[in-house]
């Protein structure tokens, strides 16, 4: 595999991670799109891993950049999950209040 092809694959993976991060910041409505991009990224990671591209010293800076992007994506998704959990708790509390009100009238 040519060096240009390897660089192209790394650039594509970086782009997918950045798109996922942007969608994660938009909130829960983008969840399905994040999953689609995640599957695309997984396929690309498989190819990159099989080729051993990130193990090569000349790609050290790209490896670090990808790692940082992945960490940022994980943080954004974790924050999104926490926000979703809070909202779910609020909905459940509201539902209990409505049920209690209905039972008392």
Residues 61-83: tens digit of each pLDDT = 999 999 999 999 999 888 888 88
Give the domain range for residue 46.
3-79
Confidence of residue 28 (pLDDT cuts 50, 70, 90): low
Tokens of 4: 């240009």
In a domain, 87, yes or no: no
Q: How far apart are CA 52 and CA 45, in angstroms?
A: 10
Rounded to two decimals, what is the model's pTM? Answer: 0.76
CA angle 6, 32, 22 (to 5 degrees): 60
Instruction: Specify the number of domains making up the chain.
Output: 1
């Amino acid at each position: 595999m040519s060096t240009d092809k390897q660089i192209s694959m790394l650039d594509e993976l970086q782009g997918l991670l950045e798109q996922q991060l942007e969608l994660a910041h938009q909130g829960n409505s983008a969840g399905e799109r994040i999953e689609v991009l995640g599957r695309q990224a997984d396929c690309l990671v498989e190819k990159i891993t099989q080729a051993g591209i990130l193990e090569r010293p000349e790609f050290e800076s790209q490896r670090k950049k990808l790692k940082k992007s992945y960490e940022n994506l994980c943080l954004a998704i974790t924050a999104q999950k926490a926000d979703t959990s809070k909202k779910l708790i609020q909905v459940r509390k509201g539902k209990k209040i409505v049920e209690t009100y209905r039972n008392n009238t």
